[in-house]
Amino acid sequence: MKRATRRLACGAAALLPLLSSCGPHQGMIAHSVVREVRQRCHPVTPCSIQLRHLTPFDWDKGFYFNDATTEEERTRTLGVKDENYQEMEDQYVFLKNGKVVHQENEPTNVEGNLPDEIGIVTPEGQNIASFESNATFTVSWESGSNGPWFLLHPAH
Protein backbone atom coordinates (compact mmCIF):
# COMPACT_ATOMS: atom_id res chain seq x y z
CA MET A 1 0.00 0.00 0.00
CA LYS A 2 1.12 3.54 -0.55
CA ARG A 3 -0.17 6.88 0.50
CA ALA A 4 -2.52 8.63 -1.86
CA THR A 5 -0.91 11.42 -3.82
CA ARG A 6 -3.35 14.09 -2.74
CA ARG A 7 -5.15 14.99 0.43
CA LEU A 8 -8.36 16.49 1.67
CA ALA A 9 -8.09 20.20 2.27
CA CYS A 10 -8.54 21.22 5.90
CA GLY A 11 -11.40 22.75 7.90
CA ALA A 12 -12.53 26.37 7.84
CA ALA A 13 -10.69 28.74 10.18
CA ALA A 14 -13.84 30.65 11.08
CA LEU A 15 -15.42 27.48 12.43
CA LEU A 16 -12.35 26.02 14.06
CA PRO A 17 -9.72 28.47 15.33
CA LEU A 18 -7.05 25.76 15.53
CA LEU A 19 -7.00 25.63 11.75
CA SER A 20 -6.26 29.26 10.92
CA SER A 21 -3.85 28.25 8.16
CA CYS A 22 -6.45 26.31 6.18
CA GLY A 23 -7.68 27.26 2.74
CA PRO A 24 -11.18 28.37 1.78
CA HIS A 25 -12.22 25.26 -0.19
CA GLN A 26 -12.64 22.67 2.55
CA GLY A 27 -15.57 20.33 2.51
CA MET A 28 -17.74 19.05 5.31
CA ILE A 29 -15.88 15.73 5.56
CA ALA A 30 -12.45 17.39 5.65
CA HIS A 31 -13.60 19.80 8.35
CA SER A 32 -15.03 16.99 10.47
CA VAL A 33 -11.96 14.78 10.14
CA VAL A 34 -9.51 17.56 10.98
CA ARG A 35 -11.60 18.63 13.99
CA GLU A 36 -11.75 15.03 15.26
CA VAL A 37 -8.03 14.41 14.73
CA ARG A 38 -7.04 17.68 16.42
CA GLN A 39 -9.26 16.88 19.42
CA ARG A 40 -8.47 13.17 19.87
CA CYS A 41 -5.13 12.39 18.31
CA HIS A 42 -1.60 13.34 19.31
CA PRO A 43 1.56 13.67 17.20
CA VAL A 44 3.39 10.79 18.91
CA THR A 45 0.54 8.34 19.43
CA PRO A 46 -1.65 7.29 16.48
CA CYS A 47 -5.38 7.07 17.10
CA SER A 48 -8.32 5.51 15.25
CA ILE A 49 -11.41 7.13 13.78
CA GLN A 50 -14.51 5.97 11.93
CA LEU A 51 -15.84 8.26 9.23
CA ARG A 52 -19.42 7.17 9.89
CA HIS A 53 -19.25 8.99 13.22
CA LEU A 54 -18.22 12.19 11.43
CA THR A 55 -20.94 12.32 8.78
CA PRO A 56 -24.46 13.72 9.35
CA PHE A 57 -25.97 11.45 6.68
CA ASP A 58 -26.57 7.71 6.38
CA TRP A 59 -24.30 5.75 4.03
CA ASP A 60 -23.11 2.19 3.53
CA LYS A 61 -20.11 2.56 1.16
CA GLY A 62 -17.53 5.28 0.63
CA PHE A 63 -14.97 6.00 -2.05
CA TYR A 64 -11.87 8.16 -2.18
CA PHE A 65 -10.62 9.11 -5.65
CA ASN A 66 -7.24 10.85 -5.73
CA ASP A 67 -6.52 13.61 -8.23
CA ALA A 68 -5.05 11.14 -10.75
CA THR A 69 -8.40 9.33 -11.12
CA THR A 70 -9.97 9.82 -14.53
CA GLU A 71 -13.64 10.52 -15.08
CA GLU A 72 -13.96 7.12 -16.77
CA GLU A 73 -12.44 5.31 -13.75
CA ARG A 74 -14.78 7.17 -11.41
CA THR A 75 -17.84 6.39 -13.55
CA ARG A 76 -16.86 2.71 -13.84
CA THR A 77 -16.30 2.42 -10.09
CA LEU A 78 -19.54 4.15 -9.08
CA GLY A 79 -21.63 2.62 -11.87
CA VAL A 80 -23.11 6.03 -12.64
CA LYS A 81 -21.93 9.06 -14.59
CA ASP A 82 -21.93 12.09 -12.39
CA GLU A 83 -21.64 15.75 -13.36
CA ASN A 84 -19.59 16.65 -10.25
CA TYR A 85 -16.31 15.16 -11.49
CA GLN A 86 -13.52 17.73 -11.28
CA GLU A 87 -10.18 17.06 -12.91
CA MET A 88 -7.11 17.38 -10.63
CA GLU A 89 -9.13 17.24 -7.41
CA ASP A 90 -9.52 14.56 -4.76
CA GLN A 91 -13.08 13.31 -4.54
CA TYR A 92 -15.05 11.71 -1.73
CA VAL A 93 -18.29 9.95 -2.61
CA PHE A 94 -20.69 8.24 -0.19
CA LEU A 95 -23.42 5.83 -1.29
CA LYS A 96 -26.50 4.38 0.33
CA ASN A 97 -28.04 1.38 -1.44
CA GLY A 98 -26.02 2.18 -4.57
CA LYS A 99 -27.11 5.83 -4.81
CA VAL A 100 -24.92 8.86 -4.16
CA VAL A 101 -25.97 10.57 -0.92
CA HIS A 102 -22.99 12.91 -0.50
CA GLN A 103 -19.89 13.88 -2.40
CA GLU A 104 -17.29 16.58 -2.22
CA ASN A 105 -14.27 17.60 -4.22
CA GLU A 106 -11.10 18.85 -2.60
CA PRO A 107 -8.55 20.99 -4.45
CA THR A 108 -5.02 19.63 -4.35
CA ASN A 109 -1.57 21.16 -4.24
CA VAL A 110 0.82 19.27 -6.49
CA GLU A 111 3.85 20.95 -4.91
CA GLY A 112 3.36 19.64 -1.39
CA ASN A 113 1.09 19.14 1.56
CA LEU A 114 -0.92 21.97 3.02
CA PRO A 115 -1.20 22.32 6.79
CA ASP A 116 -3.88 20.05 8.27
CA GLU A 117 -4.51 18.17 5.04
CA ILE A 118 -5.92 14.65 5.27
CA GLY A 119 -4.32 11.90 3.19
CA ILE A 120 -5.81 8.47 2.67
CA VAL A 121 -3.72 5.42 1.86
CA THR A 122 -4.69 3.69 -1.38
CA PRO A 123 -3.68 0.20 -2.54
CA GLU A 124 -0.37 0.05 -4.41
CA GLY A 125 -0.73 1.26 -7.99
CA GLN A 126 -4.32 2.42 -7.55
CA ASN A 127 -5.93 5.86 -7.37
CA ILE A 128 -9.07 4.70 -5.58
CA ALA A 129 -9.83 3.52 -2.06
CA SER A 130 -13.20 2.08 -1.07
CA PHE A 131 -14.47 1.49 2.44
CA GLU A 132 -17.58 0.31 4.24
CA SER A 133 -19.41 2.52 6.75
CA ASN A 134 -17.97 0.54 9.67
CA ALA A 135 -14.35 0.99 8.46
CA THR A 136 -11.78 2.17 10.99
CA PHE A 137 -8.78 4.28 10.03
CA THR A 138 -5.58 4.70 12.04
CA VAL A 139 -4.43 8.32 11.89
CA SER A 140 -0.80 9.39 11.94
CA TRP A 141 0.55 12.94 12.13
CA GLU A 142 3.00 13.67 9.33
CA SER A 143 5.53 16.49 9.09
CA GLY A 144 5.46 18.80 6.12
CA SER A 145 7.32 21.94 5.13
CA ASN A 146 4.08 23.91 5.64
CA GLY A 147 3.15 22.24 8.93
CA PRO A 148 1.61 18.99 10.09
CA TRP A 149 -0.84 16.98 8.01
CA PHE A 150 -2.66 13.72 8.72
CA LEU A 151 -2.56 10.31 7.06
CA LEU A 152 -5.46 7.84 7.37
CA HIS A 153 -4.49 4.16 7.13
CA PRO A 154 -7.28 1.59 6.71
CA ALA A 155 -7.18 -0.69 9.77
CA HIS A 156 -7.29 -4.41 8.96
Write out the residue range of the structural domain in which residue 76 sits: 2-154
Are the CB atoms for 117 and 7 separated by under 8 Å? yes
Total count of domains within the chain:
1
Higher pLDDT, 93 or 19: 93
- What stretch of H or E contains 34? helix 28-40
8 Å CB contact between 112 and 146: yes
pLDDT in tens, 1-28: 434 433 443 332 222 333 333 444 568 8
Start-to-end C-alpha separation, the chain: 12
Q: Is the pTM of this model over 0.75?
A: yes
Instruction: Beginning with the edge strand found earlier in the chain, give each strand of the sheet holding 61-65 in spatial order.
Output: 99-107, 89-96, 61-65, 128-132
